[in-house]
Amino acid sequence: MGLFSKIKEGLKRTQSKLFHEVKRIVTSSPKLTGDSIEELEYVLISADLGMQMTRQIIDAAKKAYETQGKSGDDFFAIARNEIEKSLTSERCDLAKSDGGLTIVSMVGVNGTGKTTTSAKLANLIQNNGQKAMLAACDTFRAAAIDQLKLWGERLNVDVVAGDYGSDPASVAHDAVTSAKAKGCNYLFVDTAGRLHTKNNLMKELEKLHRVIGKQEQGAPHEVLLVVDATTGMNAMNQAREFNKIAPLTGLVVTKLDGTSKGGMVVAIQKELNLPVKFIGVGEKADDLQSFDPKQYAQALFPDPAEE
């Protein structure tokens, strides 16, 4: 399956809901009257595009309809255009350190997909011909250590793990030493899920970052917050709180395949001013995509003539 088909497939639930609802509204009211505008607003907000983005699309559509006589199916192109304009225009790839090793810390609340995404990222790097390593620093959950080891076996990626209950900062320390010794290009540190409200756990994350920062200049070079698309706007609070403790460099939005609210990718990026770097569209190792705003906008609002 091509990359674009994969994004389309992953966003199918969101896209199909948006497409059918929007099509119905613009077909029955091609000139966008008061009621139909309200209906469109409702549909966009239901897809979690967020208030700001929804307003921007509706305003642009109203203007285009009034001044250029646009109508009906043009709404899709207008929405697509506004979304593209609002998102970071470049595709953002992973940071790369000046030294040999880039350390990426994966943070977020439990169950968002940190462990799975760490493994998917390691897979991506290896598929690009570089060497990756995984650090199992979620020492609170025995299952998380086992899960990461299993991924490591499957993907042929080295995993550094400590015992259940051991100090995550010390596992991270060992992992950095090992990754450097083995000439790895990337080390992905899977951290324990924590509620952003739990102060002591957040402090522990700070410590982990401090320890690896002492070992390797500028580390962690990337701090990715993993958020679950199915939790909708909750992700916004998580991002705000994590950002205070561990300044985030980007987001990974997972489980887009399981929601019709995939618009939250736009809302979160627009409102937090943080780039979405990757999206998760399934449970398998290659179900991770670099986030491409243009393809995303196209997948969400395809040209009706091509559907």
Q: Which residues bind ligand GDP (CB under 6 A)?
A: 108, 110-116, 144, 193, 254-255, 257-258, 280-283, 287
**Min dist. Cβ of residue 136 to ligand GDP (A):** 10
Closer CB to ligand GDP, residue 51 or residue 143? 143
- Spatial strand order in the sheet of 222-228: 158-161, 132-137, 186-191, 102-107, 222-228, 250-254, 276-280, 288-290
> How many Cα atoms occupy the beta-carbon half-sphere of 148 within 13 Å?
29
Handedness of CA 4, 236, 248, 196 (dihedral sign): negative
Closer CB to ligand GDP, residue 32 or residue 202? 202
8 Å CB contact between 25 and 46: no
**Min dist. Cβ of residue 98 to ligand GDP (A):** 30
* Both structure tokens of 133: 């390593």
**Min dist. Cβ of residue 230 to ligand GDP (A):** 9
User: In Å, how far from its chain's centre is CA 159?
Assistant: 23
Closer CB to ligand GDP, residue 40 or residue 172? 172
Task: Return the residue nearest ligand GDP (CB atom).
Answer: 280
Closer CB to ligand GDP, residue 111 or residue 247? 111
Q: Measure the CA angle with vertex 107, ends 105 and 109; round to 5°.
A: 165
**Min dist. Cβ of residue 225 to ligand GDP (A):** 11
**Min dist. Cβ of residue 275 to ligand GDP (A):** 18
**Min dist. Cβ of residue 226 to ligand GDP (A):** 6
Closer CB to ligand GDP, residue 79 or residue 161? 161
Which residues 6+ apart lie within 8 Å of 149 measured at CB?
136, 159, 161
* Alpha-carbon span 281 to 2, nearest angstrom: 14
Closer CB to ligand GDP, residue 150 or residue 233? 150
